[in-house]
Structure 1
Amino acid sequence: MNFDYDLFVIGGGSGGVRAARIAASEYGARVALAEEDRMGGTCVIRGCVPKKLMIFASQAGAMAAESRGYGWAEASAGGFDWPMFHAALMRELDRLEAAYTGGLDAAGVKIYRQRARIHDAHSVALADGRRVTAKHILIAVGGRPQLPGIPGQDLGMISDDLFTMEKLPGRVLVVGGGFIACEFATILNGLGSDTVLAYRGDAVLRGFDGEMRRHVTAQLDQIGVEVRLETNPARLDRDGDGIRVSFEDGATDRFDAVMFATGRAPYTQGLGLDEVGVRLGRKGEIVVDEWSQTSVPSIFAVGDVTNRVNLTPVAIREGHSFADTIFGARPRKVDHGLVASAVYTRPHELATIGLTEEQAAERGPADVYVASFRPMRSLFAGSEARAVMKLIVAAETDKVLGCHIFGPEAGEMIQMVAIPIGMGATKADFDAAMAVHPTLAEELVTMRKPSRRIGGEFAGKERGLA
């Protein structure tokens, strides 16, 4: 059978763009890609990139305060100009979108600026009524923010809306306790909004290491975010030019804006997947095997729509591996078992790779090394903020099972730590590395005595202080 294309990609985010570009430019495949919104997807347009730039912007006040501690007595951030910043941010996103589009054009990928859905195992229906055929179809449509399902929720914003606001809210409620909620609460607080974070759990960042969760929760409170734990909104009502929020415990409060950061779901509705027999999981995710292949052999999926590890670099690796496997005769799988990540709160970030202390305890005896200290830079300026570094080491093999860092630029450090841990490094390997002094990261190679042993018969028993 003659097909219009060798590959048709639905979704112009990081994973889909990488797969399309590699298949076309390196392996000579005839490739088309459909994107219904802006090229670049969640990360570039409404996620990682604009969020990190807003994190930078939100720290001007803290940086000015630190400068005064170093003798710059007149240092001041002044007033924040949201319209000016927002205009610069939009220009940067336009530049990045053009770069993504230019990369596809240079590779010879045909771009359809419209929605596409699966028609059958080898054809795609476009929104304009056209139908095109392809030997392989790759779905890379990502995920979308979820709303909590309460009355009046349409009065609130989702995380995407943060980047399109006409003005900053004077008082804002952020609902949720995941990394998006924590980062956006940090941003809004730093830019001058009176920020409240409401979360139904007893500490933010469910699923992360318990000790680190407590530190992030405390830091949000310390920077001025009002953290309301074990609290959940029950309904929203319009109150003049603001929003009246009724909580499940009967309390009410008024805000200028409410932002829901209550999770994301795979964007699979309306794609025609049920009709062609593509199997979906409990959360609507596309079920794939280790090669990113769905239950229909000609249809594949990568990125957040598969709900494996929902991070941009993972989607990129999945897309690249798909292209290598299908078009390059270089079969390549993606190992999702050991992936580093970071939560960009401030002043300290949380970065992690490998097992949490709780996970390690379930698997067997392990030694936990912890260093807690006040970083030299902020200490000199009068800050009480403490950094915490943790290594989790298998008691029997000395292998480092996990690393968790709560401190300035933790994301930068965890990237380097990911290399030795990925190679199976032991605690002795870490100890053998000569420290670079004075740095934060030297603590990772100077922890000699475990704080405690966990797992098995040793669970909960202390072995001294680090």
Structure 2
Amino acid sequence: MASYDYDLFVIGAGSGGVRAARVSAAHGARVAIAEEYRVGGTCVIRGCVPKKLLVYGAHFAEDIQDCARFGWHVDGCRFDWATLRDNVLAEVDRLNKAYTDTLESHGVEVILDRATLTGPHGIRLASGREVTAKTILIATGATPHVPGCPGHEHGITSNEAFHLDALPERMLIAGAGYIANEFAGVFNEFGVKVTLINRTDTILRGYDHSLRDRLLDISIKKGIDFRLNADFRGITRNDDGSLTVEMTNHEPAIVDCVMFATGRVPNTGDLGLDAAGVEWDEKGAIRVDDDNRSTCESIYAVGDVTNRIQLTPVAIREGQAFADTVFGGKPHKVDYDNIPSAVFSHPPIASVGLTEAKAREKLGSIKVYQSDFRAMKNVLAGRNERALYKMICDAETDRVVGLHMIGPDAPEILQAAAVAVKAGLTKADFDQTVALHPTMAEELVLLK
């Protein structure tokens, strides 16, 4: 039998790779994991975690405005970007160490170096060291896409947004997905004049139209300038350091910072996939089967690098399924139906299951229930901002096939409700549940 340095070598220490490495080691495998940047990956280092902390920081802007109606008077209040930025980055440092410590405590060898494939079982590190493994897992995630317009080098991506020396007075964000809308909301609350441009007239493609329309309306009222059906023509740096952005169908915009949030592409460049016979699709994503195996029998891939569903919890589940299947003697596959998702905009969006349009297309006959209301806190604060909850049901079976929400704490509320959708419960099951009063969540069992 062939002898290898490791039973498993993982390339990429993000959410999926870390879970796969730790669980495989717990199953008794000899495991090493290589990471060229920092342990934790996009979510922990430059994505969900630091972004959510910025979202929390941004919420204080409205809370301070609203608190006077609740009897609180805050004088001399000001926001200091550097304090929040540095505290967030310190938390990232803590998590990076925690992830590293967890891997090492499970006996995983952590190699802080870039790794590339030399064959079905071979890996070369940037240091020049070459090792072998019986099984290789690629978990290198995805990286921000930057449009190829003239002057694109003057822009930043969400990666750099966490490290700004100072807040710009004017920022243009390109894109209309969840990253664009989240950062638009955050920087707008920090007092930045935000312009968001998108090449189509639709924001948050894939979400229910009612939620998209409501967020667009609220965001415009909060002062965000949306320029839709706008394609980049170019970016020019002016003598005073500002940037002139030219676009189709709109006048040029003069801003101090341009941030690209135009999607993410699988991180497969220069990985040596050819050398191992690993195939990828037209977007650069590694082709895998239901067991996460690539076209090379000894090489697997999980997470965003496969371009299935780019969500951290999905990558973690794929890493778990891989480890249990290959090393734990407990084969199982990830179920991709009814995966909940959230947009941490202002206010946030949460969704699970079929949108109204998809439900009509798939089922034909459906029933739609809605609640359009002002949260109690907003009423007393005098904030004219309405929440919207929407339930989609199969008209024949009464089964709830979709839940879509926009409003305060919507993601926190939807997590539990997603269990009901996953379990195939009906509208009658919701109706028979006694409301928890007074809450926003009670609207889910009172929908008409």
TM-score (norm 1): 0.94
CA distance 1:15–1:76, change in 2 (3 Å): farther
1:250 is displaced (CA, Å) by 5.9
- Cα distance per residue 1:182-226 (max 9 Å; x no partner): 000011111111111111222310111111111111121122211
Change (3 A) 1:271 1:77: farther
Superposed displacement of residue 28, structure 1: 1.1
Secondary structure at 1:164 match in 2:
coil
Partner of 1:385: 385
Matched, 1:402 2:380: no
Which secondary structure does the structure 1 equivalent of 2:63 belong to?
helix
Alignment of 1:39-438 (within 5 A): 39-72=39-72, 74-75=73-74, 78-240=77-239, 241-249=241-249, 251-346=251-346, 348-363=347-362, 364-438=364-438
Q: Distance in 1 between matches of 2:202 and 2:374?
A: 23
Alpha-carbon distance in structure 1 between the residues aligned to 2:162 and 2:265: 20
Determine the C-alpha separation between the residues in 1 that align with 2:297 and 2:218.
48
Report the CA distance between 1:277 and its aligned residue. Answer: 1.5
8 Å Cα contact 1:19/1:320 also seen in 2: yes
Deviation at 1:289? 0.7
In structure 2, what is the equivalent of residue 18 of structure 1?
19
Secondary structure at the counterpart of residue 412 of structure 1: helix
Q: Does 1:2 align with 2:3?
A: yes
Aligned to 1:456: none
Distance 2:202 2:337 in 1: 25
In structure 2, the partner of 1:459 is: none
CA distance in 1, matches of 2:76, 2:447: 38
1:76 CA drift (Å):
5.0
Q: Which amino acid aligns with 1:301?
A: A
What pairs up with 1:441-452 in 2 under 5 angstroms? Answer: 441-448=441-448
Q: Which amino acid aligns with 2:55?
A: I
Distance across 2 between alignment mates of 1:202 and 1:253: 18
- Distance apart, 1:71 and its partner CA: 2.1
**Deviation readout 1:88-120 (Å, 9 max, x if unpaired):** 111111100000000011011111101001111
Taking the aligned partners of 1:250 and 1:14, their CA distance within structure 2 comes to 40
Unaligned runs of 5+ in 2: none
- Aligned with 2:162: secondary structure? helix
* Shift of residue 249, structure 1, vs aligned partner: 2.6
CA distance in 2, matches of 1:251, 1:275: 49
Distance 1:218 1:77, change over 3 A: farther
> Do 2:184 and 2:194's aligned partners in 1 also have CA atoms closer than 8 Å?
yes
Structure 1 runs (4+) deviating above 6 angstroms are none
Counterpart-to-counterpart distance in 1, 2:426 and 2:196: 39
Q: Is the 8 A contact 2:389 2:403 kept in 1?
A: yes
* In structure 1, C-alpha distance between the alignment counterparts of 2:395 and 2:152, rounded to whole Å: 49
* Matched-pair contact (CA < 8 Å) for 1:67–1:381: yes
SS in 2 for 1:292: coil
Contact 2:13 2:34 in 1 (8 A): yes
For residue 345 of structure 2, what is the amino acid of its counterpart? T
Contact 1:61/1:77 (<8 A) preserved: no
Say whether the 8 Å CA contact 1:173–1:259 is kept in structure 2: yes
The alignment partner of 2:64 has SS state of helix
Hey, what's the Cα distance between the residues in 2 that align with 1:110 and 1:329?
A: 23
Distance 1:250 1:386, change over 3 A: closer
Asked if the contact 1:21/1:104 (under 8 Å) is kept, the reply is yes
CA RMSD across the alignment: 1.0
Any conservation in 1 of the 2:227–2:250 contact (CA below 8 Å)? no
CA contact (8 A) 1:398 1:427 kept: yes
Secondary structure of the residue that 1:271 maps to in structure 2?
coil
SS at 2:51 equivalent? helix
1:246-284: CA deviations, max 9, x gaps? 112362121111001001000001001123211111211
Aligned AA for 2:326? I
Equivalents in 1 of 2:254, 2:93: separation in Å? 36
Is the 2:229–2:248 Cα contact (8 Å) retained in structure 1? no
Task: Give the distance between the partners of 2:289 and 2:338, measured in 1 at CA.
Answer: 18
Per-residue displacement from partner, 1:374-396 (whole Å, max 9, x unpaired)?
11111111011000001100011
Gap runs ≥5 in structure 1:
449-466
- 1:393–1:427: 8 Å Cα contact kept in structure 2? yes
Counterpart CA distance in 2 for 1:142 and 1:389 is 33
